[in-house]
Chain A
């Protein structure tokens, strides 16, 4: 098990690489969902204020 974490001595390079990549993945997921949420809220607001023509 510790051999796995040690990655043959390359641990200092392998694990940060995976960490950075999956941080970017997670960030993208959060970011995309937040964008959609914000757009929905804004669209509802614009509707409510009559800013959108029917």
Chain B
């Protein structure tokens, strides 16, 4: 029984239809959660004792950083599944993840910089989290560069999948080494992107934002996967029916 479900999931026409139907179920709740989070974070939550109103950047920085990492892991898992079981749909998911993840990594870097400037006076600090985000951006760019360098989509899928799997194994190692490196050269003033300790009125909107962005990722993924799956179809009777529906 379970196996049939898995095989249906792997079938492009099935995915195309199901993804189309599921998208609003991700998109609208995402919008609601994000709006609720924004109201909670910008209006309802009190200012912080130390960071004043400035800490409110966390309501966009933390979701961006969360997205950057979650999307990479999703990409790597999908890539691995695609490699092992030779599933076109899995490769389509991996391909869809990359631009989403890269753009949110960029957002995390920018918001992280803007968070750091008023707190420590410089736009860039080599703190472990910002440095890790920067390296993650390079990993995304490398993945996308490798994909675009290969014309054959199938080969691009599989080669970049190897890279994604290698990358995800290396990410914890990179993160650990960066934290280690940073702790060795600790500046006298603590240069860490530290969020304030949060009472519920502060962290509930944060949770809403994190959840909202996650659902947003789901919606974006569903839309992109449909497009990716279509462009990979070489012989398909279902396309005509699906497109004219």
Contact = CB atoms under 8 A, between A and B. Distances in A.
- Report A-B touching, CB under 8 Å: yes
Interface of A: 4, 7-10, 13-14, 16-18, 20-22, 24-25, 27-29, 31-33, 35-40, 42-44, 47, 52-54
Interface stretch (B155-163, B172-180, B221-229): B221-229
Given A8-B47, A14-B53, A17-B110, A35 B234 contact: no
B143 interface: no
Interface residues of B, number: 42
Given A10-B52, A10-B54, A28-B220, A38 B227 contact: yes
Q: Give 5 nearest A-B pairs by CB, closest first.
A: A8-B53, A10-B54, A39-B227, A21-B60, A36-B227
Interface stretch (B79-87, B126-134, B236-244): B236-244
Contact of B118 (A10, A28, A37): A10
Nearest to A31: B99
A40 B131 CA distance: 40
27 contacts: A7-B56, A8-B54, A9-B52, A10-B52, A10-B53, A10-B54, A14-B114, A17-B57, A17-B111, A18-B57, A18-B60, A20-B107, A24-B103, A24-B104, A32-B96, A32-B220, A32-B223, A32-B224, A35-B228, A36-B223, A36-B227, A38-B227, A39-B228, A47-B239, A52-B234, A52-B236, A53-B234
Interface of B is mostly: helix
B103 A17 contact: no
A35 B227 contact: yes
Contact of A27 (B64, B103, B228, B237): B103
Interface of B: 42-43, 47, 52-54, 56-57, 60-61, 63-64, 96, 99-100, 103-104, 106-107, 110-111, 114-115, 117-118, 216, 220, 223-224, 226-228, 230-231, 233-237, 239-240, 243
Contacts of B57: 13-14, 17-18
A40 B111 contact: no
A10 B54 CA distance: 5
Contacts of A28: 99-100, 103, 220
Nearest to A10: B54
A24 B117 CA distance: 21
A44 B243 contact: yes
